[in-house]
Amino acid sequence: MEHYEHFSLQDFIHDAHFIRWVKNPDADSNAYWQAVRNTYPHQSGTMDQAADLIQGFSKFYPEVPASQIELARQVIMDQISSEKQISISRKPLYLSVAASIAILIGIALWYNPTETPVHFARNILKPNLEILSSNEGKGPKTIRLDDGSSITLSPKSTVRYNMESADRRVVHLDGEAFFNVGKNPNRPFFVFTNGLTTKVLGTKFKVSAYPGGMDVKVEVTSGSVHVYRSENGAEHAESEGLTLTPNQRAVYTRKDLLLVRTLVAQPKVLITPEQLATYTYTDTPISKVFEGLEKIYGIKVIYDQEKFKNCRLNMSLSDESLFETLELIGKMVEARYNVLDGEVIFIGAGCTE
C-alpha cells in the first residue's frame, strides 16, 4: 500500500488493481481502497478524478476504437510544466482528440442524458494535472505559481504541484524548498513530504525532506503553519498536529513516528532595525526585558514572575542574538534557560531586594 502515497493521476489510471476496483467493485476491494484513502488522505481527490476518467473511458469504449482511446488518454495525461508547454505541432492533435470525444459525449447525452458524466467531459477538455519541476542546478530555483505564491527550490530537489482545485492548493516535495504562500483562507495550501503534511493559509516557511532521509523539518519565517503526520491514517490526524509560529520548527523522525516542536537554530529578528534599536534598558525589571524579547523574536519566555520580580537589568537587545542574550541574562541573575516545545523556559532562584 505504501507506494500509493506518491501516486500521480496517471499512475492511478494505469494501475491494474485500481482499474479493476473502479469497474467491478466488491466488499473486499472497497475496504482495501478505503484503507488507502484513510492512510493517505491527500490522495482522495486524485483517486476520485482517476475513477471519473476510467469510468468515462469505459463508457465510450464501444463507440471509439481502442487505438484512439489510448491516444486520447496519453495526450490528456501528458504533464504540462511551466518550462515545457505542449508543442505547437501537438496542439491540433490534442484539440482534435478532445473534440471527437466531446462529440461522442454530446451524442450520448442526446440518447441517455441521465447516465452521461458531464463532469468527465469537463475534465477531458480541461485536464487537471500536476506539474513537475526539478532543480538540477547548483543554486536555488524559483517557481512562480498562478496564485501569486512562489517556491524556491534547493538543488537536487523536486516538486509536483496542482493549483487547479477550487478548494485547495497541493504540493508534493522531495528535497528542500522555501515557500512564500499567498493568503487565501478559502484555498489552504498543503505541502506533502515523507509522511508529514504542512497546511497553511498564507505565510513563509521552509521544508526539508530529502528522499531517504530520516527526518522531515519545517521552519516558519512568518505567519503560522499546522503540521501533522500524513502516514498516521487516523481520522483526527490534523487535530493532533502542531501549530508553528515564526522562529519555531517541527522535526518529524520517521523511524520513531515522533513529531517535536522546537526553535530554529538561529532565530531571526521580526522587527525593523530602527525598531530594534529602541530596545535599550536601564535599571529595568526583567519582565520588561522578556516582553521585549517576545516582540523581537515572536518567542514566548516562561519564568517564575514571583521569583524574578526584583531582578533589574541594564542592557540592549540589539547587541546579541537571542541565545547570546539569554546567556547574558542568565549570568546577570544567576539563572539558566532551556528550550521546550518551541518556548524558552527561564530557571533560577531569582533576585533578592
pTM for the full predicted model: 0.62
147-157 pLDDT, tens digit per residue, is 889 999 999 99
Q: How far is 129 from 212, CA to CA, in rounded Å?
A: 26
207-223 pLDDT, tens digit per residue, is 998 887 779 999 999 99
Question: What local confidence, expressed as pLDDT, does residue 121 receive?
Answer: 40
Q: Which residue has the cell 530554529?
A: 264
The SS3 of residue 113 is coil
Question: What local confidence, expressed as pLDDT, does residue 91 receive?
Answer: 44
What are 319's three cell numbers?
547587541
What's 183's DSSP letter? P
Higher pLDDT residue, 299 or 70?
299
pLDDT at 87 > cutoff 70: no
Domains 152-262 and 273-348 share a fold: no
Phi-psi region of 310 (alpha: psi -120 to 50; beta: other; left: phi over 0): alpha
Question: What local confidence, expressed as pLDDT, does residue 58 receive?
Answer: 58
pLDDT at 337 > cutoff 90: yes
Q: How far is 26 from 285, CA to CA, in rounded Å?
A: 71
Higher pLDDT residue, 353 or 208?
208
Q: How far is 15 from 242, CA to CA, in rounded Å?
A: 35
Question: What local confidence, expressed as pLDDT, does residue 2 receive?
Answer: 64
Q: What radius of gyration, in Å, describes the C-alpha atoms of the chain?
A: 27
Residue percentage of the chain with pLDDT more than 90: 46
- Could you tell me the CA-to-CA distances from 284 to 145, 310, 314, 327 in Å, in that order? 48, 10, 7, 18
- Res. 18 pLDDT band, cuts 50 70 90: confident
HSE of 204, CA atoms in CB hemisphere, 13 A: 7
Among the listed ranges 22-36, 124-138, 151-165, 326-340, which one has the minimum average pLDDT value?
Answer: 124-138
Average pLDDT, the chain: 79
Taking residues 87-104, report their average pLDDT: 45
Higher pLDDT residue, 221 or 56?
221
pLDDT at 279 > cutoff 80: yes
The SS3 of residue 9 is helix
Taking residues 11-24, report their average pLDDT: 82
Question: What local confidence, expressed as pLDDT, does residue 172 receive?
Answer: 93
As separate numbers, helices (DSSP H) first and strands (DSSP E) second, the chain gives: 11, 18
Question: What local confidence, expressed as pLDDT, does residue 199 receive?
Answer: 93
For strand 150-153 and strand 131-135, is the pairing parallel, antiparallel, or unpaired? Answer: unpaired
The fold for domain 152-262 equals Jelly Rolls (2.60.120)
Question: What local confidence, expressed as pLDDT, does residue 341 receive?
Answer: 92
Buried b (16+ CB within 10 A) or exposed e, 44-75: ebbbebbbbbbebbebbeeebeeeebeebbeb
Say if CB 161 and CB 149 are below 8 A apart. no
Say if CB 207 and CB 195 are below 8 A apart. no
Question: What local confidence, expressed as pLDDT, does residue 191 receive?
Answer: 94
Q: How far is 124 from 261, CA to CA, in rounded Å?
A: 44
By CB neighbour count within 10 A (0-12 exposed, 13-18 middle, 19+ buried), where does 156 fall?
middle
Domains of the chain by residue range: 2-125, 152-262, 273-348
User: What sign does the dihedral 58-63-66-67 (CA atoms) show?
Assistant: negative
Question: What local confidence, expressed as pLDDT, does residue 63 receive?
Answer: 44
What's 325's DSSP letter? H
199-257 pLDDT, tens digit per residue, is 998 899 999 988 877 799 999 999 999 999 876 554 457 777 899 999 999 999 888 88
Higher pLDDT residue, 62 or 285?
285
Question: What local confidence, expressed as pLDDT, does residue 174 receive?
Answer: 93
Which CATH number applies to 273-348? 3.55.50.30
Higher pLDDT residue, 15 or 186?
186
User: Of the candidates 321, 293, 308, which has an alpha carbon nearest to the alpha carbon of residue 347?
Assistant: 308
- Res. 163 pLDDT band, cuts 50 70 90: confident
